[in-house]
Amino acid sequence: MHASLDPYDAVLLVSFGGPEGPDDVLPFLENVTRGRGIPRERLAEVGKHYSLFGGRSPINDQCRELLAALRGELDRRGIATPLYWGNRNWRPYLADTVAELAAAGHRRVLALVTSAYPSYSSCRQYRENLYDAAAGRPLRIDRIRHYATHPGFVTAGVEATLAALAELGDIGDRARLIFVTHSVPTVMAETAGPEPRTATGAYVDWHAAVAREVARQVGSRRGIDYAHELCYCSRSGPPQQRWLEPDVNERLAELAAAGVPAVVAVPIGFVSDHMEVIFDLDTEAARTAVDNGLAFARAATAGTHPVFVRALADLLYERSAVARGEQTDTAVITAGELGWYACEPGCCPNLRDPDRPALCGAEHAGQSGNSGRSPVL
């Protein structure tokens, strides 16, 4: 194994960002919703969620923890490639970090996005922001493949689910596994991933595959065939717009009415315990469960689980080996789709601005947009 990630001379962690104090909350929400015409009063209402947690989101701290864990893993492998971090919506801003990379003389950068699934909001929007940040700068940015179907991500979910079931005691044997992710507009879900697509699109398909595999492994470990399903949280669009359902709170009430005694919420759609987890699940969903007489436990996100961190390091190495023209192993769960390094032009389209450019696409010189299996670089 190379003691470097050649030809890449830096790694860029790309994340969503979040406010780190009460004065940051409204400006942050304005950044997130810019161009959508959402009234300031609505933003203020959403901002109250942050007040429950000291007026800050935990996501930036979790990025710092992930960077430290990844640094430690790369150091153990003898890989000294420097790590940088930039956010889409709050400091450190992606544009500032890319400017710093260019000023430091880096010319080929490998991006790791803290979003594991394909869709417009979880992939292409990051690619658009990377394009904006890199415009006019003398560097190239590639990315690792989508990694939700990597065994390391799934193993972290399995172990977290087992721990949550153990919290429930004996009733854990009769629990329902509720896999939770961020809801998106159905049209965004249906256009996720490259063509040809299924009717549901890659966003839903990938979550379903991960949920099946986590449930299978958990059931095998406990000797129980657990019923499981996929639910959604954090719907934020206008009432007339269709979003993915069922909502986790509505589903918890239905399950309680049907006699289900206990639920484990498994947030497979999230890499870390940010606001959609600590508010939507730990606060709202937990309260819904209590109100309906359901025993409730929430599994941890992948976070800095050692197996997940090792998987990210493996994915960085895999991508660099491919860029060097070498053969490499590409780990993927059973029945899971292998992610791709570069996206086809119609993959996860921007439905409001179809012509907006994005990095890490097949249209860029030297990249293949088909899949992670057989890239030509």
Tell me the pLDDT of the chain (377 aa) as tens digits: 567 899 999 999 999 999 999 999 999 999 999 887 788 888 998 999 999 999 999 999 999 999 999 999 999 999 999 999 999 999 999 999 999 999 999 999 999 999 999 999 999 999 999 999 999 999 999 999 999 999 999 999 999 999 999 999 999 999 999 999 999 999 999 999 999 999 999 999 999 999 999 999 999 999 999 999 999 999 987 889 999 999 999 999 999 999 999 999 999 999 999 999 999 999 999 999 999 999 999 999 999 999 999 999 999 999 999 999 999 889 999 999 999 999 999 999 999 999 999 999 986 534 333 333 333 23
Cα–Cα distance for residue pair 319/139, rounded to 1 Å = 17
Contact 97, 103 (CB under 8 A): no
Residue pair 265/285 in contact (Cβ under 8 Å)? The answer is yes
CA distance 48 to 42: 10
Report domain 151-298's class.
alpha beta
Structure confidence at residue 365 (pLDDT): 39
- pTM here is 0.95
pLDDT of residue 11: 98
Look at residue 369 in the predicted model and tell me its pLDDT. 30
Is 206 within 8 Å of 337 (Cβ atoms)? yes
| 8 Å CB contact between 175 and 198 | no
Q: Which residues pair with 354 in a beta bridge?
A: none
Give the start-to-end residue ranges of the domains of the chain. 10-147+304-323, 151-298
Q: How many CB atoms lie within 10 A of CB 344?
A: 17
What CATH number does domain 10-147+304-323 carry, 3.40.50.1400, 1.10.10.60, 2.40.50.1020, 3.90.320.10? Answer: 3.40.50.1400
User: Is 151-298 the same fold as 10-147+304-323?
Assistant: yes
Residue 369 sits at the vertex; the CA angle it makes with 368 and 373, to the nearest 5 degrees, is 75
Q: E strands, 114-189, where?
A: 140-143, 175-182
CA 75/CA 146 separation, integer angstroms: 24
Q: Are 311 and 147 in contact (CB under 8 A)?
A: yes
Give the pLDDT score at 131. 98
Tokens of 253: 């009430």
pLDDT score for 270? 98
Using DSSP, state whether 130 is helix, strand or coil.
Answer: helix
Full DSSP string of 223-272: T----EEEEEE---S-TTS-B---BHHHHHHHHHHTT--EEEEE-TT-SS
- The pLDDT value recorded for residue 374 is 33
Contacts of 6 (CB under 8 A, 6+ apart): 320, 324
User: 292 with 253: CB under 8 angstroms?
Assistant: yes
Contacts of 240 (CB under 8 A, 6+ apart): none
What's the CA gap between 78 and 4, in Å, rounded?
7
Residue 188 CB contacts under 8 Å (≥ 6 apart), including other chains = 119, 120, 121, 203, 351
What pLDDT is stored for residue 36 in this prediction? 79
Residue with tokens 């896999």: 179
